[in-house]
Amino acid sequence: MNCPEIRIDEITPELYGRLLTEASSSGAKFDGTKASIQGLEFNWTYDAVSLTLHITCIKKPFWASCEVVEMKIRELVRKSSEAI
């Protein structure tokens, strides 16, 4: 079962680039609109016009709740934002 979509607004192109760098350095692999890291798989799309990032967790280990997944993603966004 998929987790609910996570929508994050105000993602500038610079912040999006930083997010990709941070996620990749943590072991995330990207293939088009798919991303994966540590047993998690996501649909991941960025709309540069509306500055919106859409993320849906489509596969996760049984021990990882959707809430924890969202918290980790929002933490990554915050960390990336602070690094700019």
For the chain, the distance separating the N- and C-terminal CA atoms, rounded to the nearest angstrom, is 35
The pTM of the full predicted model, rounded to 2 decimals, is 0.88
- Give the model confidence (pLDDT) of 8-24 as tens digits: 999 999 999 999 999 99
In the chain, where are the structural domains located?
Answer: 6-82
User: Does the pLDDT value for residue 62 go beyond 80?
Assistant: yes
Q: Which helix (H) or strand (E) holds 84?
A: none
The fold of the 6-82 domain, in CATH, is: TATA-Binding Protein (3.30.310)
Q: Could you give the residue ranges of the DSSP H alpha helices within 4-54? A: 13-25
Q: What six digits make up the tokens of 23?
A: 């996620």
d(CA 28, CA 21): 9
